[in-house]
Structure formats: structure tokens, C-alpha cells
A = this chain, B = another copy of it.
């Protein structure tokens, strides 16, 4: 068993792209991922799973078809399974995502913003 803690700030310092989640830990069949975002992502949903956003630094907005949620540092939100959403951030925002291993960033929409879903940092 590895006995070293996982330091979020250290892992974040190694992430240089936006919208490209990197895995930092696995719990059972779930992944903890860090991601830096800026700008607007695309509308998508994850038909098979809820998805947790925890803002570590900055501010983001999750748009829904029927409203939006603003998340600041230290705030968490659970996007329900199958619920269409579009993350955005006017300035760079640092986030932890928690979701099942294998979850694809663009969900059921796909397209050119899709990144590999098994990259660790």
C-alpha cells in the first residue's frame, strides 16, 4: 500500500490544459479527477451516473436546461444522472470531479472535446 498522501495542489500544478480531467485516486470503481476549466464546455449528460463537482479554487457555473448553479471555492454540487448540463467558467477554475471510472468528459454528446478517460497525473 502506498503511504503517501495525494496533495491536490501538487497535482494541480502539473495540469496545463483546460477541460482535460486527470485521475489522482481510485476508490472502488470510482475515480477522483482534477481539472482546470476556462470558457464554455458543451451540453452533455451522463445517462448512467451522477457526477460530483467540487470547486477547489475559482468560480464556475453549471448551466442546466432549467437554470444554473454558481459554484465557488469550497462548494460542491451533484449533477444527477441523465441531467443535461454545460459547465463554464469566465476565469480559470480548479475543480475535483468524482465519478465512476470510465466516465467520458463529454458524456453522450462526444465530439472533438472528448479526451481520454484514463489519464492519471
Please give the residue numbers on chain A whose beta carbons come within 8 Å of chain B beta carbons, in ascending order: 1, 3-9, 24-28, 30, 32, 49-52, 64, 66-72, 74-78, 80-81, 83, 98-100
What is the bound-complex CA distance between A27 and B77, given in angstroms? 10
Q: Contacts of A72 on B, CB cut-off 8 Å?
A: 5
Q: Contacts of A75 on B, CB cut-off 8 Å?
A: 5-8
Counting every copy of the chain, the complex holds 2
User: Can you list 14 A-B contacts (CB < 8 A)?
Assistant: A1-B83, A3-B69, A5-B72, A6-B76, A7-B75, A24-B76, A25-B76, A26-B50, A27-B52, A27-B99, A28-B49, A28-B81, A32-B76, A98-B98
Q: Contacts of A64 on B, CB cut-off 8 Å?
A: 1, 3
Our pick among B6, B26, B76, B81 for the contact of A77 (Cβ within 8 Å) is: B6
